A = this chain, B = another copy of it.
Amino acid sequence: MRRIITISREFGSGGKEVGKRLADALKLPFYDSKIIHMLAKETGLQESYISEISEHGSYPYAFNFGRTFMALPTLQMNQNEILIAQQKVLKKIAEKGDCIIVGRGADIVLEEYAPVKIFVYADMDAKIKRCLAKKPSEEQLTLTEMKKKIKTVDDGRRRFHDILSNRTWGEKENYDLCINTTNLAIKQLIEPLAQYIENYYQGK
């Protein structure tokens, strides 16, 4: 049986790190922002633009054109078309073989592959702490601004999920396992999580 593991996560909860480390432990291909790169190649659009649409389901009001030349009709490409292109990319990835995918609504889009659906979350204080520890030195956000950023990103993820499904983003009923990273280090999670995945597929 094909092993597709999807990881949904709250911003700052360490979900990406969970996915990356789990992929290393299980020796599985790992897809995160790599998907944006694949999508940019497929559609000819700029990665930052696709990133906003494909993860958050919204058209960015402030859009940095950068130095990429894009014709207007391409720029106006319908949001739905990008989402459809992303679904194609996700299915291509799943068709290739076993993998771990973080975000991008993969838990919904790849439902036919019966993925193991994991949700990673944490208390707000823990998320703020993690974000502040990771933020690039030029980014000088206050605690309040960081909290606002976390909420804004997660609102976007919720909104994006709502476009794809009538199931609520982050509601435990929609996942196989929900992991709170507030009280333990991500690396402590990987061994039991890898074992969980092994056992999950045993005999399937």
A72 within 8 A of B: no
- Alpha-carbon separation in the docked complex, A121 to B172 (Å): 9
Copy number of this protein in the oligomer? 2
CB pair B202–A196 under 8 Å, yes or no, is: no
| Partner among B178, B189, B199 whose Cβ is within 8 Å of the Cβ of A196 | B189
| Partner among B116, B123, B177, B196 whose Cβ is within 8 Å of the Cβ of A173 | B123
- Measured between beta carbons, the chain B residues less than 8 angstroms from A175 are 178, 180
- Minimum CB–CB distance from A120 to chain B (whole Å) comes to 11
Question: Footprint of B on A, CB under 8 Å?
Answer: 116, 119, 121, 123, 170, 172-173, 175-180, 182-184, 188-189, 191-193, 195-196, 199-200, 202
What 10 new A-B contacts, CB under 8 Å, besides A176-B184, A184-B199, A189-B199? Answer: A170-B172, A173-B180, A175-B178, A176-B182, A176-B183, A177-B178, A184-B200, A192-B193, A192-B196, A195-B195
